[in-house]
Structure formats: C-alpha cells, structure tokens
Amino acid sequence: VAKPEHVNFGLAIDLQKPDGSRQLVVPSIKKSDEMDFNEFWSGYEDLVRKARNNKLGVPDFQGTTISLTNPGGIGTVHSVPRLMPGQGTILGVGAMEYPAEFQGASQDTLSELGISKVMTLTSTYDHRIIQGAQSGEFLRRIHQLLLGEDGFYDEIFNSLRIPYEPVRWVQDIHVNKATQLDKTTRVQELIHAYRVRGHLMADTNPLDHEQRKHPDLDVLEHGLTLWDLDREFPTGGFGGKQVMKLRDVLGVLRDTYCRTVGIEYMHIQSPEEREWIQSHVEREHEKLDRDEQLHILHRLNSAEAFETFLQTKYVGQKRFSLEGGESLIPLLDGVISKAAKAELDEAVIGMAHRGRLNVL
C-alpha cells in the first residue's frame, strides 16, 4: 500500500458552460496538511478562481488523496458521493439549515429557544484502506473541532489575525429569575466592563500582532453564552437604541474601545462628562460616503506626491519624512475643517518632527 507524503485536498467545483450545461471538476490544494487556515483559504480561493476562469492545468488534478463535495451549496441536506479512482475518502457536506420542525419558526423564536442550525456530513471511504471505525472516529473528530475543541478556532483566529478570542461553545445558561440576575442585567454589566477595561484590549502595539483578551470582557464571565448573541436585550439607550442583539452590542463595544485607540474615562467624577463621551464614541460604525473617501484620498495623494518630490529633488538631505504617519494628514484635515465650520479663529499645532514639512 502506497502512503502519500502529503494531503492533497480535492475540491469539487460546479462549473456552468456557455451552452448552459454543467461540468464538475475536482482540482486539489497541494500539501494542505502543512498550511495554516489563512494559507488554506488563499489556496482555496485561488483554485476556485482558476476553475471559474478556465485556467486549470493537468497538475491541478494530480495526486488528490481526499476530496470534498458540497451539495449543500444548492440546498441538498444529505448526499452520499462516490469515490474517484486512487482516492481514499470523499466528504459530502450538506446544507447548513435549521431542523425541519423549526424552519417555520420566526428568527426571534429560534434565538429565544437557542435552536442551532445543523449540517449533515458524510464520509465515503475505500474499505480496503480505511475501516468503518476509523471513518466514524474521523467524523467525530470533525464534530469536536467544529465545537471548538483543542483550540481549533483560536488557531483560525490567530491565522487570520483576528485580535479577539472566539466565543466558546457551551451549553445555554438557564436563568432562574427567582434566584439569579436577569440576563439583561448581565448585558449591562458587560457594557460597564468594556467602558472600564476596554482600553486594555485596544490594539496599541503597531510592531506586533497578538490576540487580545481580558477576563472581565469575556461574555462567559458575565453568565452569557454564544446562544445569547442573537437574542435581543434592553440596553437603556446604548448605541442610540433601546433594544439590541448581544452580537450588535459586542460589535459597538469592540469598535469603540478595542480598536487602535484606547479610551479610558470612567474615573471622571462628573456623570455629565462621562455621558457626553459615551454619546460621541459608542456608535455603530458609519461608513464614509464616496465624496468624503475621495477627499481623503486626494489629501493622501497630495502628501505622497510631496514626499516623492522631496526625496527625488533633495537626495541625501536630512529631513523628517511623513512615512509611517500618513494617518495624520486626514486627521488634521478633519479637525481643522470642523474647527473652521465652528468659526474658531485660530489653530495652534504642537508639531512632531515626523512629516512636519508635509503638514506645513
């Protein structure tokens, strides 16, 4: 029996021909066993792109050891695929849907009951090299990983440079209202924790990537779970809304306190001042309109053109380049423009060396 050196992961891709007929091709991602998730994702996207553009070659189809077909993409719940010659196993992935008895329920009911989507996964294997028990153990292992065992999602988050911990899979927490805090109170505790400790998870180190976490900011520490993410809770006006899903609450909290600016203000004694800060920073992300984006691009282009002029016209001259501080340009532009609209008479800049010629 020949044992392949690497796992060459075949991917079944459904292509539609110009005449309307369909063709199934199964190229493979080579040496997928040596890849982290980001590398695998890039290989996956590259393979699909080559297939869609009719750029696949013979080497793309050679050496496949295990393959995956995804009839779930067209809504099939269950499918048992057949093996291709030379391959040991093929996985069939069904559609990810709510159980049939709950498909007529509203989204609010599903969230309140904690009903999860389910997915059928089949393994068709060559009995000459794989035993039934091995296939069963393999499917059980996939089940365990999809629930997050052995740091599965931690590795994916780290590979994709997602700066937060994944929300762990745990059983839903039943609240006995007679003896325990209501979950609405727990959400308020979580909001307060981010206001006090959120700056500790801010991305303030430009030289290194790290997964940022703090026990006070973990939803599990507040008696909340992933089952609560799509449940709505009263928020008392947080984010400008009276009721929000916990998922959206977390999004606003992380965008406000845990991005590239750390905000620490809860030590301020005046409630009015604290509320003023909250009203200005605790907002859902607002995407700039096209005109504003083009304006920022124009300012950055002007700054870059000036840098290019200096380094070609005055070669070897000592100066403090803007390079690495480009975000200063749109920031100053925004601040000074708003100051002008507010009819302020004067702006005084305590300028750092970096980029001072460009700013002037």
Domain ranges, ordered by start, for the chain: 9-159, 183-281, 290-359
Q: Please determine whether the domains at 9-159 and 183-281 fall in the same fold group of CATH.
A: no
* Percentage with pLDDT > 70 across the chain: 98
**Are β-strands 121-125 and 89-93 bridged in parallel, bridged antiparallel, or unpaired?**
antiparallel
Query: Is residue 65's pLDDT more than 60?
Result: yes
The predicted pLDDT at position 188 comes to 92
The predicted pLDDT at position 177 comes to 58
The predicted pLDDT at position 86 comes to 75
Amino acid residing at 169:
W
Determine the length of the chain. Answer: 360
Query: Is residue 1's pLDDT more than 70?
Result: no
181 pLDDT tier (thresholds 50, 70, 90): low
The predicted pLDDT at position 252 comes to 93
Average pLDDT, the chain: 88
288-300: per-residue pLDDT in tens?
899 999 999 999 9
Q: How many CA atoms lie within 13 A of 256 on its CB side?
A: 26
**331 closest CA partner among 287, 294, 289, 300:** 300
Architecture of domain 183-281: Orthogonal Bundle (1.10)
Two structure tokens written together for 139: 């499917």
**Mean pLDDT, to the nearest integer, of 52-73?**
88
242-288: per-residue pLDDT in tens?
899 999 999 999 999 998 889 999 999 999 999 999 999 998 878 88
Between 38 and 204, whose confidence is greater? Answer: 38
310-352: per-residue pLDDT in tens?
889 988 888 888 888 888 889 999 999 999 999 999 988 888 8
Amino acid residing at 92:
G
Residues 6+ apart with CB under 8 A from 77: 94, 95, 97, 120
Q: Which of 6, 127, 199, 285 is catalytic?
A: 127
117-132: per-residue pLDDT in tens?
999 999 999 888 888 8
Give the CATH superfamily of 9-159: Chloramphenicol acetyltransferase-like domain (3.30.559.10)
**Catalytic annotation present for 127:** yes
